[in-house]
């Protein structure tokens, strides 16, 4: 039986609890250990203000590119497993603090809408904390389904408050 073709996918990573830099760095390493998946690129780390409640620490964010033969749903399951390994707890507060948040941003050029998964990720086009690291590793001319060229999205958002960290 032949293996499924490799799909290029992009994953957003974020943390603002329990040593966020280490949480994101470790998760970047762990993405390469997922079944039928290898990491092909990783962005720098970025410090960003929280999108949700203001009484929480700044986030550390990054984006990784992977090549995978998993389905989008199976990749999402693996990302959720990694979140659990990092002791992610759902507080019930939207955009609240977390040890690790992994979002499947793009899955090839596919558009997916199920009860558990929306690709491209909801809000992708308006979130500088995702677009800046994505632009760092994306191929020139990346076109995001339903949203258009990445370069055009970057022109419409502000990078205020985003800081690349060493």
Residue 2 in domain: no
| Confidence bin at 166 (pLDDT 50/70/90) | confident
Residue 1 in domain: no
Mean pLDDT of 33-40: 96
Q: Is the entire prediction scored with pTM above 0.75?
A: yes
Q: Is the predicted pLDDT of residue 3 greater than 70, yes or no?
A: no
Residue 19 in domain: yes
Structure confidence at residue 92 (pLDDT): 59
Residue 92 in domain: yes
Of residues 103, 109, 127, 143, which has the active-site annotation?
103
Give 101-128 pLDDT, tens digit per residue. Answer: 999 999 999 999 999 999 999 989 999 9
Structure confidence at residue 53 (pLDDT): 77
Q: Is the predicted pLDDT of residue 165 greater than 80, yes or no?
A: yes
CA angle 88, 124, 46 (to 5 degrees): 60
Asked if 28 and 13 count as a contact pair (C-beta separation under 8 A), the reply is yes
Catalytic annotation on 84?
no
* CA dist., res. 127 & res. 157, Å (int): 8
Catalytic annotation on 101?
yes
| Confidence bin at 156 (pLDDT 50/70/90) | very high
Structure confidence at residue 76 (pLDDT): 97
Residue 65 in domain: yes
Total length of the chain: 166
Structure confidence at residue 114 (pLDDT): 95
Of residues 101, 109, 143, 156, which has the active-site annotation?
101
| Confidence bin at 43 (pLDDT 50/70/90) | very high
Of residues 42, 47, 98, 127, which has the active-site annotation?
98
Residue 22 in domain: yes
CATH number, domain at 151? 3.30.70.560
Provide the domain limits for residue 51: 7-165
* CA dist., res. 99 & res. 94, Å (int): 14
Residue 129 in domain: yes
Of residues 88, 94, 109, 143, which has the active-site annotation?
88
Asked if 87 and 26 count as a contact pair (C-beta separation under 8 A), the reply is no
Mean pLDDT of 56-85: 96
Domain count, the chain: 1
């Amino acid at each position: 039986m032949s293996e499924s073709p490799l799909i290029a996918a992009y994953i957003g990573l974020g943390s603002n609890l329990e040593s966020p830099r280490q949480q994101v760095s470790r998760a970047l390493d762990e993405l390469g250990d997922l079944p039928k998946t290898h990491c092909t690129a990783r962005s720098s780390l970025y410090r960003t203000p929280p999108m949700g409640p203001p009484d929480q620490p700044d986030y550390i964010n990054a984006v990784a590119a992977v090549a995978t033969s998993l389905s989008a749903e199976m990749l999402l399951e693996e990302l959720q497993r990694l979140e659990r390994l990092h002791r992610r707890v759902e507080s019930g507060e939207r955009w609240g603090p977390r040890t690790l948040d992994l979002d499947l941003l793009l899955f090839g050029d596919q558009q997916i809408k199920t009860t558990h998964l929306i690709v491209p990720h909801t809000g992708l086009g308006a979130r500088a904390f995702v677009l800046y690291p994505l632009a760092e590793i994306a191929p020139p001319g990346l076109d995001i389904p339903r949203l258009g060229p990445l370069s055009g999205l970057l022109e419409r958002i502000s990078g205020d408050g985003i800081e690349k960290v060493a």
